[in-house]
Structure 1
Amino acid sequence: MDELDAWFPYETYRPYQREMLELAATCARNGGIAMIDAPTGSGKSSIVSALLAERAGKKVIVAVRTISQLTTFIRELELVRSRKRTLAYSYLIGKRSLCPLSGGGDVYRRCEGVKAVSTSLMRERAGTGQLVPSRDPVIIRQMKKLDTQHPIICPYFIKSRVFTGGDGNALRMLPSTTLRNRADRITRERVLPHELREMGAGICPYEMLLLAAQKSDVVVVNYHHLFDDEIRTQLYGSLGIEPHEVHLLIDEAHNCGEVMQGVMNTAISGPALLQAEREILGLRRQLKQAVAVTQIIRNIGDFMEGLRNSHEAEDWFDPSIFDRIVVRGSLYRDLSEVVDDLMQISEHIREKNRAAGEYATTAVEVLTAFMVRLTCSAPDPAFLTVFRRDGDEIVLEVRNIDPSGRLQELARSHHCCILISGTLSPIESFRRYYFGELDVMTKTLPNIFPPSNRMVLCAGDITTAFSMRQNRENTDRIARYITTFASLAGNLAVYFPSYQILETYAGILEGRLSSRNLIVEPKDARDAGDLLKTFLSLPARGSSGILFAVCGGKWSEGLDYRGDLLAGAMVVGLPLAPFNRVRQMTIDYYRHKFGSDGEFISYTLPALNRAEQAIGRVLRAPEDRGMLVFGEKRFLEPRVRSGLPSWIRDEMAECSIDSFAAAVKKWK
């Protein structure tokens, strides 16, 4: 038995799984970057076994996007631990869901503020001999007097710390016995996210997880722990590691580009601008820069008002014109001087609010972040300055269109970085998009689920292309496809390119599908969870429904519709992003970078991935059975079809509305 077999937690390997794990082990042993495209059921989560087999003293960090993906790795690591009893693993989730301290504002900022004040207080009291802060009468009185809505100290953090030293020796702040014991339990026992509040009762749950992570061989983190440079630097510092000491595994890696762009994008809205002006006007007597910056804010407001004359929902604006208009008639020569003053004002407000127990992000800080990004990115073609309409408001945005630079820095800084997903297809396109000409190992696995359990069809006589959206015959035919598809038994899902198109067909078909428990994805995320639970509960009640959702929306990715929860999926249209000047500028950028492949990588590839994610909700296990329908003739075009996974390309049959009806009848 070799080292890989020793860590692999199953009796046998799935088809092609051993090859995938050997590639990961080679990457871990030698260092470098690897990308693996492996459909659902390939056993991707077992790659963590390969990284452990080649750990050589390094820490394994797994980055996931959702709680369901975290749970998958908890299950996998428990199986590994059944073979390797000494394995210690833990995970970190966001403070927002963990923090027991009440109060408003940003939870991360609140945590930073109350920890700083609590640490100062505890250290001062330890100097008088009070080495157990939670038993110190002075600190106990402070905790009893705490304003719960505006806390300046944290009782949970205080109960998580003790001191050693004193009497001439240097004081050291250490984890309390309670914190250490519970952190040890985290590394030794299976503890699920919903159990953390109870396990961390009375102490800081995040400190408990962080201490467990320090002691662990494997740590599972969420995306923002990894992709945000500041958060990652703080995390690695807390864990006492450097990136080159880490084997990094990124799950659902088709999201990497979008997530990294989200970290780098900044925006400012009209209401936020007005609030920033009010915040600064209140400082006129304290800060000499306040009056001058107020003029700048009003100039930005005038610039935004001028954009209302545009008929576009989204468009590019020239940053050099913005610069001239914003500093015109002011005391500033250029935006860099404005940014300097804004940063000073932001820091003043932040410190003032922290002292008062206020932790909300101020509008001045939002404006400052926008202006800093705008000035820093002005010469960088990987960023565009964009305005868009949000209802009646104009929003200015600095938008990243190429995340590859930051992704390359992230991957190369670690000893090894392995990206895995079931939809990294075509993998060569994703490799170029993420890593350009870097040396990257790649592997694509075939779909091992039985083809007899699925039917893949593509409509050759319908489209949602803009030029055909007002065509009555095309619209009626799309409606017929959907109603025919709805005649299948079981829960079904129909995915659309946008909410606008979804609402069009929901309006057309609401009456015809009234007997099918039609559930429509809402724009407001607050209502989405309960509606989805209703849909998923139908089979257990002997019923079924049909889901109308948006590709790339809340119900199209990261969810497991196993067994009878979903019997078929249909994607209506090719879910391309709306075409406008911003999109054309993005395409031009990638054409310059990649030549003839630039448009496919920047425009078509994201649309294909959204469609694959939606279609992929159906078949989550070998025994699952379902019909997969691409309701768009553009999927048959050679360049588009070539971007689909090989199993879809090989099995997808063209149909007309009549042959589709026959196929549905036969599939029943």
Structure 2
Amino acid sequence: MTYTVAVRELCEFTAKQGDLDLRFTPAPTALEGMAGHAVAAARRGAGYRAEVALSGSYQTLQVRGRADGYDPERQRIDEVKTFKGRLDRQPASHRALHWAQAKVYGWLLCQQEQLAHIDVALVYLDVGTQQETVFTQRCAADDLRQHFEAQCQRFIAWAAQQMAHRTARDAALTALTFPFGGFRTGQRPLAEAVYKAATAGCCLLAQAPTGIGKTMGTLFPLLKAVPAQQIDKVFFLAAKTSGRQTALDALSRLSDRAPALPLRVLELVARDKACEHPGNACHGESCPLAQGFYDRLPAARAAAVANGEAGGTAALHQAQVRKVALQHQVCPYYLSQEIARWADVVVGDYNYYFDLGGLLHGLTQANQWRTALLVDEAHNLVERGRKMYTAELRPAALAEARRSATAARHAPVKKALDKVRRCWVALDKAQASAYAVHDTFPDKLLAALQQCGSTLTEHFTDHPTEPDAALQAFYFDALHLVHMAELLGAHSMVDITQPTHSYNGKATTPGDSTLCIRNVVPAPFLQPRLAAAHTSTLFSATLQPARYYADLLGLPADHWWVDVESPFHAAQLQVQVARHISTRFPHRAASLHPIVALMARQFQARPGNYLAFFSSYDYLQQVAALFAQRHPEVPHWCQTRRMLEAEQRAFLDRFTPTSQGIAFAVLGGAFAEGIDLPGKRLVGAFLATLGLPQINPVNEQIRERMHALFGAGYDYTYLYPGLQKVVQAAGRVIRTPSDEGVVHLMDDRFGHAQVRALLPHWWGLHPRAGTPVPRQDLDGHAPLPLPRPASKISI
């Protein structure tokens, strides 16, 4: 049995040494890197061969990769590295790693072409100036062979251990049985769909109701498919900490039922949660855990993965990784990133795979892994995706950078920042309205930001021991904006928003606008990441209509769709529509008394715990104040703006099996999804809103773009996102097959057939067959026909 490893992965394992050092950054973007490689190749002669596929073996190790280029006439192989900043600031450890990679490619080419010697060249190309710096070594083939074998010898013991682990893992997963007595109602069809999708190597969109055990119903079948499908990694991606914890708990239950299961489970957490020295920069001169990081990494890595090698799951959660890291005096955050290469299941936030610089996607591409994705609460990926690919620059960030001590001491920095400010002011002076949308990002300001980025890169490289939080914050914001400007397309829009005086609506000082490249459709960015996986399952309780999510998330045309039947029935949940109430903004004042009266009647009829959801904090406070005045005998408590975690826990702790009262919350907030209050902890919910996003200039521009792209502007911008929040909030009431409760939908628009068609079928509110969908006005816009559903999988 052979173990296959990429050249880059081999050398990063064997040739990295010394400090962790991030000062020679930022690296060029992927597009800049590709363009730089193309420039270097174009400058070579007609016979130059770019992207040369190479492979070779040593004992049980198979090594493969692509050399950047080979010039047969000069008999020279090139390893091209693009960079920004000053090359003379490059750490020696970086150069040593690059030589190690280049020489491995050199031997593989000598072996393939039967060469006695070859020139090995490191070609450094500055993406800003397009200038090359070339370092060349004449190498005998035998010397390169010895170098190659030395790298392989350092890796082969680890490879043998990895092969043994993989064999034991796959055997244990083949024998793995479901950890409970049987599947819950609805859980088996979900599991069958996930397994079939993995077997077929396709993408699955799964709508499955809350309460059936979606996490175990997706993890178990996917793990069962791993051996036969030769899947290297399973990535469980969640929008929130609660989703990660649910996955870790499910994997722990599997481990409890199968103690000998050798599964390496890694939890990835954000840098600010893992950093031991948040005030220090990430290099050996500043942080003690970065100093000598790569020298101590092998022992730390071995200790981490050995945690479960005796025959059992290695649970590498945040606390365990931190413990190992501190025992070996290495950074916990970067240790977890190294361990990701050797984990079987990685649990982390969406951004670790879907962000432009996502670690897991990058490793998948570099190592050609066969991966499987589970995307939890996938309805959140639309908004999260938009945020990942949106770049915003606020005037306060530039003002703080210009006021920084660094700008005062270093003239080039101040000059670059001042130029950005001048271009920004000129742009605002030319803008006639408070809000404007541009076809492209303004050229002069973009050029100033690009030049400023280069200047700050050089400054940070030359002054690594002068941290400046304000300057760094602006720097990274500006880099992201420039990057997104390079990727601008129909999926995004450029808008500039100037603050206005509340009393006259006029714009304030020029240069005080907010610059934004606003992503509207994340599909073009998400689609290649989904395509990079062997199989992916995106699941949630609210994915209706399926076509909306397929369009915005970039699902492949041949994806599968399954709508798992709910284990609940209409008799469990009384859903009442208050047709006499309108919560439209002009009707808010008139709605207060009817809402309070309805809530009081329901509480008197069935005392218990209730959640009441509103469209805004202002609306919530108006209703809560009137309710307290009219019904002081009924306990109530309210969500407030920017609640801390302790305050959120206190809010939820008031829901006990014996307590009574009404909690007021904002729809779409912390208590509208992801919380579990089964049984008598929650017996009902009131929803005084359709959840429709506010009609404002930004959303109206999004509506126009959605109409142009999908012919469903109002529905895609307002109706579907709003009702998704409604269904999520109402889903807090029925959590188990034994729960019973009531939901009051307090708005006459819930009576419209078009709206009822988007609510869960088991609620019993769907229009009867043949009922026409009237052309009714929903907040000023005529509804469009429902989009066609995606094709369903037969299970």
Is residue 521 of structure 1 aligned with residue 521 of structure 2? no
Q: 1:226 corresponds to which residue?
A: 353
Q: 2:457 corresponds to which residue?
A: 347
Q: 1:249 corresponds to which residue?
A: 374
Q: 1:318 corresponds to which residue?
A: 438
Please say if residues 423 and 448 of structure 2, whose CA atoms lie closer than 8 Å, have aligned partners that are also in contact.
no
Q: 2:597 corresponds to which residue?
A: 480
Deviation string for 1:610-635 (max 9, x for gaps)? 11111111222222222112111112
Deviation string for 1:99-141 (max 9, x for gaps)? 3523437xxxx4xx22xx37xxxxxxxxxxxxxxxxxxxxxxx
Q: 1:136 corresponds to which residue?
A: none
Partner of 2:379, secondary structure, is helix
Identity percentage of aligned residues: 22
Q: Following the alignment from structure 1 to structure 2, what is the Cα–Cα distance between the partners of residues 250 and 598?
A: 26
Q: In terms of mean alpha carbon deviation, does 435-444 or 31-40 score higher? A: 435-444
Question: CA, structure 1 residues 48+582, in 2 after alignment: closer, same or farther (shift >3 Å)?
Answer: same
Of the candidates 52, 58, 67, which is equivalent to residue 223 of structure 2? 52
Deviation string for 1:246-282 (max 9, x for gaps)? 0111111001111111111122222212123335982
Instruction: Show the 5 A alignment for 1:433-472.
Output: 433-435=552-554, 438-470=557-589, 472=590
TM-superposed CA distance for 1:516, in Å, is 3.1
TM-superposed CA distance for 1:39, in Å, is 0.3
Partner of 2:685, secondary structure, is strand
Q: 1:566 corresponds to which residue?
A: 682
TM-superposed CA distance for 1:563, in Å, is 2.9
Question: CA, structure 1 residues 516+156, in 2 after alignment: closer, same or farther (shift >3 Å)?
Answer: farther
Amino acid at match of 2:732: R
Q: 1:579 corresponds to which residue?
A: 695
Partner of 2:357, secondary structure, is helix
Of the candidates 28, 43, 48, which is equivalent to residue 213 of structure 2? 43
Q: 2:252 corresponds to which residue?
A: 78
Instruction: Show the 5 A alignment for 1:499-648.
Output: 499-526=617-644, 529-540=645-656, 542-595=658-711, 597-648=712-763
Please say if residues 642 and 649 of structure 1, whose CA atoms lie closer than 8 Å, have aligned partners that are also in contact.
no
Please say if residues 261 and 312 of structure 2, whose CA atoms lie closer than 8 Å, have aligned partners that are also in contact.
no
TM-superposed CA distance for 1:580, in Å, is 2.1
Once superposed, what is the RMSD of the aligned Cα atoms? 3.6
Q: Following the alignment from structure 1 to structure 2, what is the Cα–Cα distance between the partners of residues 410 and 206?
A: 24
Deviation string for 1:350-386 (max 9, x for gaps)? 3356333556662431552364156435553532414
Q: In terms of mean alpha carbon deviation, does 511-520 or 257-266 score higher? A: 511-520
Q: Following the alignment from structure 1 to structure 2, what is the Cα–Cα distance between the partners of residues 410 and 89?
A: 23
Partner of 2:193, secondary structure, is helix
TM-superposed CA distance for 1:298, in Å, is 3.3
TM-superposed CA distance for 1:572, in Å, is 0.5
Q: 1:664 corresponds to which residue?
A: none
Instruction: Show the 5 A alignment for 1:367-382.
Output: 368-369=478-479, 371-373=481-483, 375-376=485-486, 379-380=489-490, 382=492
Q: 1:140 corresponds to which residue?
A: none
TM-superposed CA distance for 1:495, in Å, is 0.6
Q: 1:297 corresponds to which residue?
A: 421
TM-superposed CA distance for 1:422, in Å, is 1.1
Q: Following the alignment from structure 1 to structure 2, what is the Cα–Cα distance between the partners of residues 185 and 286?
A: 60
Question: CA, structure 1 residues 560+539, in 2 after alignment: closer, same or farther (shift >3 Å)?
Answer: closer
Please say if residues 502 and 550 of structure 1, whose CA atoms lie closer than 8 Å, have aligned partners that are also in contact.
yes
- List runs of 5+ in structure 2 lacking aligned partners: 1-172, 503-511, 769-795
Partner of 1:396, secondary structure, is strand
Amino acid at match of 2:625: G
Please say if residues 497 and 514 of structure 2, whose CA atoms lie closer than 8 Å, have aligned partners that are also in contact.
yes
Question: CA, structure 1 residues 349+462, in 2 after alignment: closer, same or farther (shift >3 Å)?
Answer: farther
Amino acid at match of 1:380: A
Of the candidates 87, 90, 96, which is equivalent to residue 265 of structure 2? 90
Q: Following the alignment from structure 1 to structure 2, what is the Cα–Cα distance between the partners of residues 37 and 275?
A: 46
TM-score normalised per structure 1: 0.77
Q: Following the alignment from structure 2 to structure 1, what is the Cα–Cα distance between the partners of residues 469 and 463?
A: 7
Amino acid at match of 1:318: H
TM-superposed CA distance for 1:644, in Å, is 1.5
Question: CA, structure 1 residues 95+182, in 2 after alignment: closer, same or farther (shift >3 Å)?
Answer: farther
Question: CA, structure 1 residues 361+90, in 2 after alignment: closer, same or farther (shift >3 Å)?
Answer: farther
TM-superposed CA distance for 1:430, in Å, is 2.0
Of the candidates 224, 229, 242, which is equivalent to residue 68 of structure 1? 242
Deviation string for 1:414-461 (max 9, x for gaps)? 111110111112223322332367221000012102443321111111
Is residue 236 of structure 1 aligned with residue 391 of structure 2? no
Of the candidates 616, 623, 648, which is equivalent to residue 498 of structure 1? 616
Please say if residues 462 and 478 of structure 1, whose CA atoms lie closer than 8 Å, have aligned partners that are also in contact.
yes
Partner of 2:699, secondary structure, is helix
Partner of 1:457, secondary structure, is strand
Please say if residues 214 and 240 of structure 1, whose CA atoms lie closer than 8 Å, have aligned partners that are also in contact.
no
Please say if residues 574 and 608 of structure 1, whose CA atoms lie closer than 8 Å, have aligned partners that are also in contact.
yes
Instruction: Show the 5 A alignment for 1:129-140.
Output: none
Q: 1:217 corresponds to which residue?
A: 344
Question: CA, structure 1 residues 184+354, in 2 after alignment: closer, same or farther (shift >3 Å)?
Answer: farther
Deviation string for 1:282-336 (max 9, x for gaps)? 278653x8536513313414655887974xxxx444366x83xxxxxxxxx7344
Normalized per residue, the structure richer in helix is 1
Partner of 1:282, secondary structure, is helix
Q: Following the alignment from structure 1 to structure 2, what is the Cα–Cα distance between the partners of residues 157 and 619?
A: 53
Please say if residues 325 and 332 of structure 2, whose CA atoms lie closer than 8 Å, have aligned partners that are also in contact.
yes
TM-score normalised per structure 2: 0.66
Please say if residues 280 and 294 of structure 1, whose CA atoms lie closer than 8 Å, have aligned partners that are also in contact.
no
Amino acid at match of 2:353: L
Please say if residues 539 and 565 of structure 1, whose CA atoms lie closer than 8 Å, have aligned partners that are also in contact.
yes
Q: 1:396 corresponds to which residue?
A: 515
Name the count of aligned residue pairs.
580
Please say if residues 227 and 259 of structure 1, whose CA atoms lie closer than 8 Å, have aligned partners that are also in contact.
no
Q: Following the alignment from structure 2 to structure 1, what is the Cα–Cα distance between the partners of residues 367 and 549?
A: 29
Q: 1:334 corresponds to which residue?
A: 444
Please say if residues 203 and 560 of structure 2, whose CA atoms lie closer than 8 Å, have aligned partners that are also in contact.
yes
Q: Following the alignment from structure 2 to structure 1, what is the Cα–Cα distance between the partners of residues 638 and 415?
A: 50
Please say if residues 186 and 209 of structure 1, whose CA atoms lie closer than 8 Å, have aligned partners that are also in contact.
no
- List runs of 5+ in structure 1 lacking aligned partners: 119-151, 164-172, 324-332, 654-668
Is residue 25 of structure 1 aligned with residue 188 of structure 2? no
Q: In terms of mean alpha carbon deviation, does 342-351 or 31-40 score higher? A: 342-351
Q: Following the alignment from structure 1 to structure 2, what is the Cα–Cα distance between the partners of residues 257 and 584?
A: 18
TM-superposed CA distance for 1:600, in Å, is 1.3
Question: CA, structure 1 residues 187+62, in 2 after alignment: closer, same or farther (shift >3 Å)?
Answer: farther
